[in-house]
Amino acid sequence: MKAIIHIGLKPGVLDPQGRTIARSLTHMGFEGVTKARQGKTIELDLSSDNAETAKLEVEKMCKQLLANTVIEDYQIEIVE
Amino acid sequence: MKAIIHIGLKPGVLDPQGRTIARSLTHMGFEGVTKARQGKTIELDLSSDNAETAKLEVEKMCKQLLANTVIEDYQIEIVE
Amino acid sequence: MKKVKITPEVVAEHGLSEKEYEIICDRLGRAPNITELGIFSVMWSEHCSYKSSRRHLKKMLTKGKRVIQGPGENAGVIDIDDGDAIVFKMESHNHPSYIEPFQGAATGVGGIMRDVFTMGARPIANLNALRFGEPSHPKTKSLVAGVVHGIGAYGNCVGVPTVGGETNFHRGYNDNILVNAMCVGLAKQDKVFYSAAKGVGNPIFYVGSKTGRDGIHGATMASAEFDDDSDAKRPTVQVGDPFTEKLLIEACMELMATDAIIAIQDMGAAGLTSSSIEMADKGGVGVKMNLDKVPQRETGMTPYEMMLSESQERMLMVLQPGKEHIAIEIFEKWDLDVAEVGITTDTGHLVLTHKSKTVCDIPIAPLGDDAPNLNRPYDPPKNLDTLYNDQIMDPVTRGTSYNDVVTTLITSPDIASKRWIWEQYDRSVMGDTVDSSNSGGDAAIVRIHGTNKAIAITTDCTPRYVTADAFEGGKQAVAETYRNLCSVGAEPIAITDCLNFGNPERKDVMGQFVRSIEGIDAACRALDYPVVSGNVSLYNETNGQAIPPTPAIGGVGLIKNLERYATLKGAKEGEHLVLLGKTDGWLGASLYAHLILGHAKSEAPLYAPPPVDLEAEKAAGTYVRRLIRDRRVSSVHDLSDGGLALAAIEMAFANGFGFKLKGSADVPLYAWLFGEDQGRYLVSVEENSLNPVISTARTLNIPAQKVGTIGGSRLIATGGFDLSLQDTHMEYESWLPDYMAD
Amino acid sequence: MQSAVIVFPASNCDRDAATALEKITGRKPLMVWHEETTLPKVDFVVIPGGFSYGDYLRSGAIAARSPIVRDIVKKAGNGLPVAGFCNGFQILTEAGLLPGALMRNKGLRFVCRPQKLQIVNGDTMFTKAYKGITEVTYPIAHFDGNYYADNDTLRELRKTGRIVFKYIDNPNGSLNDIAGICNEAGNVLGMMPHPERAVDPLICDSGRGGTDGIALFKSVLEAVR
Ligand SMILES: Nc1ncnc2c1ncn2[C@@H]1O[C@H](COP(=O)(O)OP(=O)(O)O)[C@@H](O)[C@H]1O
Ligand SMILES: [Mg+2]
């Protein structure tokens, strides 16, 4: 079983990376980009085969290590 | 329209971040994690309203800037 | 916009007392609206108004022959000859770093650099003074990792070398770490910029990043005690953007080279509020701003939010009318936001408009003049007993070998190498770092670009001593910086301070605070070594437990000629070790007492710390500088934690040679080796300098004696320890990396 | 020799590079802003270290797409000597002038220390003046210095003598201990260590003095003469 965790900055938190990416895309001539945000994904291979308990476990991992909940939000996706 | 770009290291490229994440999770007592990989996502707000052309455009952005194809693979997802 | 009713609860939430609220109503002749209340609350917070500390800070020596600007501006300014000036300051970012170590520490570095370049000085060196909880505390490791990463990430990116600092671990900081950052900048004396907004009708410009909802209430938060709900207050943490800071430095430097600026002020705590009010107050003018013009990152921001936001990397300037285009051009070139947001007026009021309505109209003077200036009651700490050496047994009698003593000390968290930390800091960027943490040196040495002179910089404080005796501890912190500067051959010029204490509403804490300041001041006066800038951080406590009193001192000195300086390195095989200064073998509050005699276990301090004889301090320092100037010594190290033994060992690590120390007839060996008597230096000298160095010292009434020789690969104290240099060095280097590697 | 130093937003070793070049070549380099579309006529270009564009997205990625780099790529193709130090190396790989990529250090920490290096190829236009010296020390200061290339590329680099510098005691996990490489024609060098910070006996972070970088610049000076 796999878990994919999407981590992004909370709304309102300054995202200098995203801003810089959007700006350079515009500079390079990609006109249609109005905003960019950068986030990260963490993909975990899990030995568990119960999606329910896996999700709870990953939830804990996010809180304790993977996400910085002071400034980041996260979403967990469990894939078989 | 939005584009979400998932960027990850190519298979075979050593991922020290992923490895460290897996190791710390294990240390913290999360036994079931056999492997971890870290990737990034870039979310773009696009002014275009044609999914087809948007995808082509984003494809170009990836090749020209967003991904380093020496070490990275990418996937594009277009969301309305 | 919804109108917020000002209830007693709202007033209390803003940290204002009933009496303070009454004063506000009285000055306004009406009740304030929420924006005005917010403005008063941040301006009268501990952080901005120094209400508990002001009257005590006033006592300090702030003038000297090299002082160009003392406290009161963004940073202090000193004269280092040839029209050059050094601008420096130290500041705390304790609470934010505890909540979010990476961003908290990073924005701390960003903030202190802005304080320096806002005065026209290009930052040339950063230092950091860090105090963490005990290593076994579950949070400590991740706090160390996050803080160090944050400091490095910011300073490295901006391209300013981080050249030194200090790091302590103690359970007293378990829930309240200290992150003090110091920045030193270089300016031309005739190009120093100040914050007084002189003149009426001059345009006010906002430059840098856009304003978001970051850190609203950071200033009041920094002044409020933590409790278990602190997690709920989390979203107030700001995110730093060192890339923008770097652009801001370059843009400001470019603009400062023109004559367009009348006044300039960075937006630090309380952002737009404190920057605009301070500029107006100092210039004796009023300010009118249109908040619609403020560059905003988010939609729907209220005036309250804009005025209290602590978004980073922003500055406010008053420009010469007619020169606006110069600024606009430069900031646009650097891709930064730039907007004319207001004008100086003759009303003496701060007037804000938003969506064509006046949302604030308050007289500026009361914000400063009527700011609370409290005379908090305090209990001076009582004096502790002296620990006499005949009360102590020899370690061997107590069942510990001298070898074990050394190993315990050398691998203790405060002493063990901090390489794991400072290797994450770019120390060599800018190409002028002569000496940094890399040599374990007493003070970092940074050359003034393109010249043959340099400044020496150090930060010091021994909280162990301050806890035991706030007055002596305050003195000692200043004296140690003085000693560290002298050790490299620099003439000590001035200090900055960062006074970290607990809750000033407690009499014992306030007593520590007052006595520390008195101690600092006594040292400054005796050493002719004034305070030119500083910062006070109070309420460092959690659930009623105050941190150890920690007045961190940053010292700056001048090396006039880089052909004549010293470091720990340079000693040669066969040279002699000479000890300068008086040794009685003082063990009270020493590292030895704490770790070997077990005094660290005691909740309350047990014995008095070593007193500092300031006259002797000055004499010894002056003599050491002279020895360095006359090339009489090949390496120098001051004696501090762990006394003679650790000083000799640290020198051995730097030089790669062992030594043989002998004992003394007058002092028991353990006290001789590990006593922490103040005002002492260990120097290495060649054979033919030995007698002159000692005899000249004696004519100056400075105790001096040969204590050993350099050479071999063992660390030997006759009748005491005998250790392998290499193994001991390895143990010294491994503690922190082993700890961090989980 | 007239040299040029390219300045990107948040370059921070541009002054260090300029100081070294002036000291060794006797002539002030031209400082060229990233928005310029054509290089002035120069004999040697240095892409300095720093955190161009904050190193956001990837180190060197955004800088590599700037107008000036396009012109540098063209002129390097015609034989113009170009050296990239630290962030400059990252930019050169991102721009495709050098193969491979620089990834996050294996230890996941920024590392700054005086670093011992082996000069693997002393016969390039950047190393000739070392005259047989094979071990030097330069400061390193980077977070993303972990060199990666696929096996074919690595083999090719080895076979053609294009590995110029190797780490002694690899600080970042670089494959084959690679610290610096050059292009096929030998006129483009990229390296993570900072030779420009090792040109002054007084200055090398701890007073031990560092002048090992001088010969690198001398080599170029002699080569273009
Ligand atoms: N946080 C830090 N950042 C940079 N350098 C540090 C830090 N902590 C300690 N150091 C360095 O480690 C060395 C030893 O520190 P310390 O024991 O406090 O020195 P001293 O007792 O001589 O003042 C010094 O060179 C100091 O600059
Ligand atoms: Mg110290």
pLDDT score, position A12: 82
Active site annotation includes C93? yes
pLDDT tens, residue by residue, B2-56: 999 999 999 889 888 999 999 999 988 998 899 999 999 999 999 988 999 999 9
**Which chains does A contact via 3+ CB–CB distances below 8 A?**
B, C, D
Rounded CA-CA distance C318/C255 in Å is 12
Q: Is D35 on the interface with A (CB under 8 A)?
A: no
Contact A39 B40 (CB under 8 A): yes
- Ligand 1 centre from C609 Cα, in Å? 21
Chosen from D56, D69, D104 to mutate, greatest number of chain A CBs within 10 A: D56
**Atom 21 of ligand 1 has which residue's CA nearest to it?**
C640
The C-alpha of D174 sits at a distance from chain B's nearest C-alpha, in angstroms, of 11
Q: Is D62 on the interface with B (CB under 8 A)?
A: yes
Name the band, by pLDDT with cuts 50, 70 and 90, for residue C234: very low
> What is the pTM (predicted TM-score) of this model?
0.94
- Catalytic residue positions of D, numbered: 86, 194, 196
Q: Is the pLDDT of residue C638 over 80?
A: yes
Contact D200 C423 (CB under 8 A): no
Name the band, by pLDDT with cuts 50, 70 and 90, for residue C227: very low
Q: What are phi and psi of D89, to 5 degrees?
A: -65, -45
pLDDT score, position D206: 54
Here the tokens at position C498 are 């960062």
| B62 three-class SS | helix
**Atom 9 of ligand 1 has which residue's CA nearest to it?**
C166
**Quick check: C566 and C434 in contact, CB under 8 A?**
no
H helix or E strand, kind and range, residue C707: strand C704-710
Contact B70 D101 (CB under 8 A): yes
Active site annotation includes C47? yes
- Domains along chain A with CATH numbers: 2-79 (3.30.1280.10)
Q: Is the pLDDT of residue D207 over 70?
A: no
pLDDT score, position C506: 96
C597-601 contact pairs (CB < 8 A, 24+): C597/C392
Of the candidates B51, B55, B56, B40, the residue with the CA atom closest to the CA atom of residue B8: B40
Chosen from D34, D112, D208 to mutate, greatest number of chain C CBs within 10 A: D112
B contacts of A35 (beta carbons < 8 Å): 44-45
B contacts of D107 (beta carbons < 8 Å): 16
| Mean pLDDT score of chain C | 94
Here the tokens at position C243 are 């890339």
A contacts of B47 (beta carbons < 8 Å): 31-34
D contacts of A21 (beta carbons < 8 Å): 56-57, 62
For strands C357-363 and C349-354, give the pairing: antiparallel
Q: What are the DSSP calls for C17-82, one per residue? A: -HHHHHHHHHHHTS---HHHHHHHHHHTSHHHH-TTTHHHHTTS----TTEEE-BTBSSEEEE-ST
pLDDT score, position C370: 82
CA C33 to chain CA centroid, Å, is 37
Contact C246 D205 (CB under 8 A): no
pLDDT score, position C597: 96
Q: Is D55 on the interface with B (CB under 8 A)?
A: no
Q: Where are the domains of chain D?
A: 3-224
Q: To the nearest whole percent, how much of chain A has pLDDT over 70? A: 100
pLDDT tens, residue by residue, C166-181: 999 999 999 999 999 9
- Closest ligand, as measured to the CA of C437: 1
In the block, residue with structure tokens 């294009």 = D162
Stronger pLDDT, D91 or C216, i.e. the higher one = D91
> How distant, in Å, are the alpha carbons of C405, C586, C589 from that of C593?
11, 10, 6
Span C121-148, average pLDDT: 97
| Distant-in-sequence, close-in-space partners of C666: CB < 8 Å, separation ≥ 6 | none
Of the candidates C373, C355, C351, the residue with the CA atom closest to the CA atom of residue C35: C351
Q: Is A16 on the interface with C (CB under 8 A)?
A: yes
| Secondary structure (H, E, C), C353-415 | EECCEEEEEEECHHHHHCCCCCCCCCCCCCCCECCCHHHCCCCCCCCCCHHHHHHHHHCCCCC
Rounded CA-CA distance C209/C231 in Å is 27
Nearest residue, CB atoms, D16 vs list C425, C430, C445: C430
pLDDT tens, residue by residue, C325-381: 999 999 999 999 999 999 999 999 999 999 999 999 999 988 888 888 999 999 999
Span D16-28, average pLDDT: 96
Q: Is D207 on the interface with C (CB under 8 A)?
A: yes
D contacts of A16 (beta carbons < 8 Å): 54, 56
Q: To the nearest whole percent, how much of chain C has pLDDT over 90? A: 88
Name the band, by pLDDT with cuts 50, 70 and 90, for residue C221: very low
For strands C178-188 and C84-92, give the pairing: antiparallel
pLDDT score, position D190: 98
Q: Is the pLDDT of residue C495 over 90?
A: yes
pLDDT score, position D92: 98
Q: Nearest chain A residue to C103 by CA: give it.
A: A71
Nearest residue, CB atoms, D104 vs list B17, B66, B68: B17
Q: Nearest chain B residue to A25 by CA: give it.
A: B61
The C-alpha of A22 sits at a distance from chain C's nearest C-alpha, in angstroms, of 13
Which 49-78 residues of chain B touch chain A by CB within 8 A?
54, 57, 60-61, 64-66
End-to-end CA distance of chain C: 52
DSSP bridge partners of C456: C445, C557
Span D197-221, average pLDDT: 85
pLDDT score, position C217: 65
pLDDT tens, residue by residue, C646-682: 999 999 999 999 999 999 999 999 999 999 999 999 9
Q: Nearest chain B residue to A54 by CA: give it.
A: B32
Alpha helices in D26-126 (DSSP H): 61-64, 67-77, 87-94
pLDDT tens, residue by residue, D101-116: 999 999 999 999 999 9
We find that the CATH architecture of domain D3-224 is 3-Layer(aba) Sandwich (3.40)
Contact A23 C335 (CB under 8 A): yes
Q: Is the pLDDT of residue D35 over 70?
A: yes
- Ligand 1 centre from C623 Cα, in Å? 24
Rounded CA-CA distance C729/C623 in Å is 31
**Quick check: C376 and C52 in contact, CB under 8 A?**
yes
Residues with CB under 6 A from ligand 1: C 128, 130, 164-167, 418, 421-422, 437, 440-442, 460, 484, 640
Q: What are phi and psi of D34, to 5 degrees?
A: -60, -20
The C-alpha of B71 sits at a distance from chain A's nearest C-alpha, in angstroms, of 17
Q: Is the pLDDT of residue C214 over 90?
A: no
Q: What are phi and psi of D200, to 5 degrees?
A: -145, 125
- Ligand 1 centre from C741 Cα, in Å? 21
Span C147-165, average pLDDT: 97
- Ligand 2 centre from C299 Cα, in Å? 48
Contact A46 B33 (CB under 8 A): yes
Q: Nearest chain B residue to D102 by CA: give it.
A: B71
Residue of C47, C170, C594, C599 marked catalytic = C47
pLDDT score, position C3: 67
Span C481-509, average pLDDT: 97
Ligand 1 atom nearest to C442, measured from its CA? 22
pLDDT score, position C238: 85
**Atom 13 of ligand 1 has which residue's CA nearest to it?**
C440
Contact A61 B25 (CB under 8 A): yes
Q: Nearest chain B residue to A63 by CA: give it.
A: B25
| C86 three-class SS | strand
**Which chains does B contact via 3+ CB–CB distances below 8 A?**
A, D
- Ligand 1 centre from C105 Cα, in Å? 18
Within 13 Å of residue C350, how many CA atoms lie on the same side as its CB?
A: 27
- Ligand 1 centre from C460 Cα, in Å? 9
Which 14-53 residues of chain A touch chain D by CB within 8 A?
16-17, 20-21, 24, 27-28, 38
**Atom 11 of ligand 1 has which residue's CA nearest to it?**
C437
The C-alpha of A79 sits at a distance from chain C's nearest C-alpha, in angstroms, of 31
Here the tokens at position C168 are 């302590």
**Quick check: C116 and C183 in contact, CB under 8 A?**
yes
Pocket test for ligand 1, best of C422, C423, C461, C635 (most atoms within 8 A of CB): C422
Rounded CA-CA distance C229/C202 in Å is 45
In this structure, the number of other CB atoms found within 10 A of the CB of residue C434 comes to 27
Span A44-73, average pLDDT: 91
pLDDT score, position D208: 53
Strands (E), C550-693: 550-559, 576-580, 635-638, 659-661, 681-685
Name the band, by pLDDT with cuts 50, 70 and 90, for residue C4: confident
